Structure 1
């Protein structure tokens, strides 16, 4: 079963007849972005073909990437193909080994396919979808086209004006656009917005840089959403795609000091996206600082932006310490919950479920990790509050 919005697998036959191949998503490219887009689209439950226009992918050492959903899916197939136990480290993934694993993967998958060294004559629109003519009699039809390489040849075939690939933006808290993120950039305080990925006046067409794995994964999920729901890419639902990518362990906020393996990673990502806790921006990187104490001043305005009732609580508790007792009071007032029941539940979960290092203490000033987990669990601002295309809260 697929997670979140891709809960069903569409088992549409890939080959309709000898002359026409139908797929949901067609990816053009042979580097990291094309690989990630193809894997994410298929993992999200739609048919995907990656059209490499070469003798295979040109990827050296996938080991260097953090183990997000795409890399984890690859590592699973690599262990199976190479017959390596989970307890043993994988070898360095050379280009040759990578392509051997991908070939075995594609050969055994109903949703993921790779076509190497296949020339084409033309690419054109068919309704809201695309058709790529392999010969005068054979073609591939796809709902969504993702370009991850070879733009010059594609643009000539499409007879379109030049396109620019999706670009990341620097994380900037003077605006709220970061709330529309689909991917954080490893090692940089940068992110890709859904609205920088979508191409104005070009439906069901995405164009991403060839060597950017995270952007490829974001494009794969966006293409899969449109294909799965038979929608135009302009009808993409931000929260649904963000949720899908988070479920596949892609960091949407580029926090340099929060690993995907961290047991509280998801809560810190979600609260980071809301801006209730803001990263420290230093030397081109973003630091969430999970162990840093939370202050009244830093959470006051974001909480007011998200919840009317939080305004009343904060005005009644001006400059209070953000300790556990006060945060319980806050979430119970805003969320209409029982204070005693919440205290008992948090005490039970504190070390066992949340895996906090500290002791349960109502007078303890919460750090950013603890605050994020509690707010995410009891108020769920990321899941329940929508934002507009500029990232502004919609209430």
Structure 2
């Protein structure tokens, strides 16, 4: 064999392969919590990502001085909750760990955690103290040039800077920043989580009132794949200028990071985002879609309840302060699930017509519904009984005559009918 060819195989080919695999597809610009979460989520979504840090420090809000965060009580999730757990030397986040960690966040510990996390992400390229020279759209890609003349060609760009400088270079004045859907003030006063809330991707609280931001309020109004976080109109309206902004910025950054990664991975544009795909991606990493304050992220049924909540089949109960609760142990009536179920499944209408006298549902009723709508066979009961504790982690003994609780309904509908798989547009309309 030719010696030159052997040399190529041993030394050159691996380097060439490495350079190809590191070709960036998403670029994040900024240094705050939203930039950190966006860059990290893009990496976790398996996209090669460049993070241009336009400052002296990553997340100075958390790595400069001891702080205490009071916002988002019971709503911490995703990358933010994971960071909080890690500061207490725990790998798995929980609501109790988040509450404890937020009382006193040590900057040195946060810095150590962040350094460790960033180092572990091999498909992330960090450029510290990076300064932009030019930002131009070229065909379906963005061409970014830095002050040191380094260049990047990427499919999607996220401007998470406080002054939206990248956006200004690309499109002009920050006053032109807009989202696909502008949220009216009464959106945050509404008690029902349906419509646009079906596409919720970032939760928070406003004066104690919980909310979820729909995907369309965080993405561009066009097909540009130029995403903005901090300077989006809805985000600016919600920010207080204090450390209590950190949880919301983290959640928004994670959602936008997933959206940008979606456009890059599928080689599509921001006007063609798949809401359920983005929601499913961030849910995989512990994010909250709907702000149920009584379902902890460590709950074994957290993901199922989040998915069912996002369909609108089982809406939450808002208290007088605007906090939302799922009420896992409350019974379920046919009238409660009927409206949205009929929108989700064509056969659902027939089942309810054939069962006009059903009111409070039992497990037997749910089996009948799942068999008819989900076209399941008579093996269903035996399968659920077999998996009652081992797979579904349900309490109590299996009994087909027990009244349905909201928890049980969510778990079994999610497992056997998969209503979350029904597409929903960016406008919140179900697309059966």
Coarse TM-score class (shorter-chain normalised)? 0.7 to 0.9
* 384, 399, 408: which one aligns with 1:346: 384
Q: For residues 338 and 322 of structure 2, what CA distance do their matches in structure 1 show?
A: 26
Unpaired segments of 5 or more residues in structure 2? 1-16, 232-245
TM-score by length of 1: 0.83
Q: Which residue of 2 aligns with 1:144?
A: 156
Partner SS state of residue 140, structure 1: strand
Q: 1:159 to 1:281 in 2, by over 3 A?
A: same
Q: Which residue of 2 aligns with 1:44?
A: 45
Contact 2:274 2:425 in 1 (8 A): no
Q: For residues 90 and 301 of structure 2, what CA distance do their matches in structure 1 show?
A: 28
Query: How much does 1:224 deviate?
Result: 0.9
Query: How much does 1:209 deviate?
Result: 2.6
Q: Which residue of 2 aligns with 1:177?
A: 196
Q: 1:62 to 1:24 in 2, by over 3 A?
A: farther
Partner SS state of residue 19, structure 2: coil
Contact 1:324 1:362 in 2 (8 A): yes
Partner SS state of residue 351, structure 1: coil
Alignment of 1:212-361 (within 5 A): 212-282=249-319, 283-320=321-358, 321-339=360-378, 341-361=379-399
Partner SS state of residue 51, structure 1: strand
Q: For residues 312 and 389 of structure 2, what CA distance do their matches in structure 1 show?
A: 26
Cα distance per residue 1:183-242 (max 9 Å; x no partner): 333664312222222211351111113741111110111111111222222222222222
Q: 1:364 to 1:152 in 2, by over 3 A?
A: closer
Q: Which residue of 2 aligns with 1:59?
A: 61
Contact 1:14 1:23 in 2 (8 A): no
Partner SS state of residue 300, structure 1: helix
Alignment of 1:7-156 (within 5 A): 13=19, 23-56=24-57, 57-60=59-62, 68-71=77-80, 74=83, 93-107=105-119, 109-135=121-147, 137-156=149-168
Q: For residues 125 and 158 of structure 2, what CA distance do their matches in structure 1 show?
A: 15
Partner SS state of residue 131, structure 2: coil
Structure with the largest fraction of helix: 2
TM-score by length of 2: 0.77
Cα distance per residue 1:159-196 (max 9 Å; x no partner): 42424466775365385222222233366431222222
Q: For residues 209 and 29 of structure 2, what CA distance do their matches in structure 1 show?
A: 27
Q: State the aligned residue count.
A: 373
Query: How much does 1:371 deviate?
Result: 0.7
Partner SS state of residue 155, structure 2: strand
Query: How much does 1:114 deviate?
Result: 2.6
Q: 1:129 to 1:100 in 2, by over 3 A?
A: farther
